């Protein structure tokens, strides 16, 4: 009686130790061939995804270089930029982990090029703000990929980012900028409003654009 052979996933390493007749080897050869082909396809898919993520990083850097302006004249140093839009799109397409990778890479490149004036402080704050946004929004959307799920995810991300930046400014800004916490506290209404508006605009544009570009990102 021919031995029963199970193929969990695409693992066929255990088959080599089983003596099989030529006829019995046919399914083994087929599965082994499919396994190698699948591995090649997975490798190609990962390469394509990395290339698309690199494209999103480049778009983000270009956007922040050409579009940046203050929202509130009283705090002109707080500038809006649309850099988070490609990052959010990438997060929805590839998941929250990819979103974090996009955030860190974009923040570092931006921090040493177009936004070099903000230095390490700017890089840290960017990672915190966008990182919280993509973790919250990306995780919620991952488990509910509908228009309603996207709205809930983006709103939750906006609120989480605003709360995180209020806390981060109270802790980090006095250390890097040398200003008393009382001064930061006095600016808190502007900090909260700025982050709500910035994240809100970027989330709204993401919501409008994502389905239009998702077909390309998932090819």
Would you say residue 2 lies in a domain? no
- Following DSSP, what letter does each residue of 71-132 receive, concatenated? SSGGGTTSEE--THHHHHHHHHHH-HHHHHHHHHHHHHHHHHTTTGGGHHHHHHHHHHHHHH
Residues 19, 22, 27, 28, CA torsion sign: positive
Q: How far apart are CA 154 and CA 198, in angstroms?
A: 12
Would you say residue 95 lies in a domain? yes
Structural domain including 128 reads 52-217
> Quick one: DSSP state of residue 18?
S
**What pLDDT does 16 receive?**
44
Cβ-contact 28, 20 below 8 angstroms:
yes
- 3-state class of 70 per DSSP? strand
Counted domains in the chain: 1
Cβ-contact 93, 142 below 8 angstroms:
no
- CA distance to 30, 61, 64, 119, 212, per residue, from 109 (Å): 46, 8, 11, 11, 27
Q: How would you write the pLDDT of the chain (219 residues) with one tens digit per residue?
A: 444 444 344 443 443 444 545 544 554 454 455 455 555 557 777 888 899 999 999 999 999 999 999 999 999 999 999 999 999 999 999 999 999 999 999 999 999 998 888 889 999 999 999 999 999 999 999 999 999 999 999 999 999 999 999 999 999 999 999 999 999 999 999 999 999 999 999 999 999 999 889 888 887
Q: How far apart are CA 42 and CA 83, in angstroms?
A: 30
- Residue 67 host element (H or E): none
Would you say residue 26 lies in a domain? no
Question: Measured over all CA atoms, what is the biggest interatomic distance in the chain, rounded to whole angstroms?
Answer: 85
Q: Please state the pTM of the whole predicted model.
A: 0.80
Would you say residue 87 lies in a domain? yes
- 3-state class of 69 per DSSP? strand
Cβ-contact 193, 72 below 8 angstroms:
yes
CATH number reported for the structural domain that contains residue 119 in this entry: 1.10.1760.20
Structure tokens at 88: 């959010």
Q: How far apart are CA 42 and CA 140, in angstroms?
A: 26
Q: How far apart are CA 56 and CA 189, in angstroms?
A: 32
């Amino acid at each position: 009686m021919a031995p029963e052979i199970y193929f969990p996933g695409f693992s066929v390493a255990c088959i080599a130790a089983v003596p099989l007749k030529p006829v019995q080897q046919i399914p083994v050869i087929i599965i082994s061939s499919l396994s190698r082909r699948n591995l090649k396809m997975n490798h190609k898919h990962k390469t394509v995804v990395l290339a698309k993520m690199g494209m999103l990083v480049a778009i983000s850097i270009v956007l922040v270089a050409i579009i940046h302006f203050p929202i509130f004249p009283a705090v002109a140093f707080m500038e809006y930029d649309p850099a988070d839009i490609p990052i959010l799109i990438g997060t929805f397409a590839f998941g929250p982990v990819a979103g974090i990778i996009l955030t860190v890479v974009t923040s570092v490149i931006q921090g040493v090029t177009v936004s070099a004036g903000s230095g390490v402080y700017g890089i840290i704050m960017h990672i915190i703000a966008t990182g919280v946004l993509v973790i919250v929004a990306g995780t919620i959307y991952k488990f509910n990929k509908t228009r309603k799920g996207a709205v809930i995810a983006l709103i939750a991300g906006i609120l989480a980012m605003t709360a995180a930046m209020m806390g981060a400014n109270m802790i980090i800004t006095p250390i890097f900028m040398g200003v008393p916490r009382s001064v930061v506290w006095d600016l808190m209404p502007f900090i909260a409003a700025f982050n709500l508006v910035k994240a809100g605009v970027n989330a709204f544009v993401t919501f409008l654009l994502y389905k239009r570009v998702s077909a390309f990102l998932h090819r």
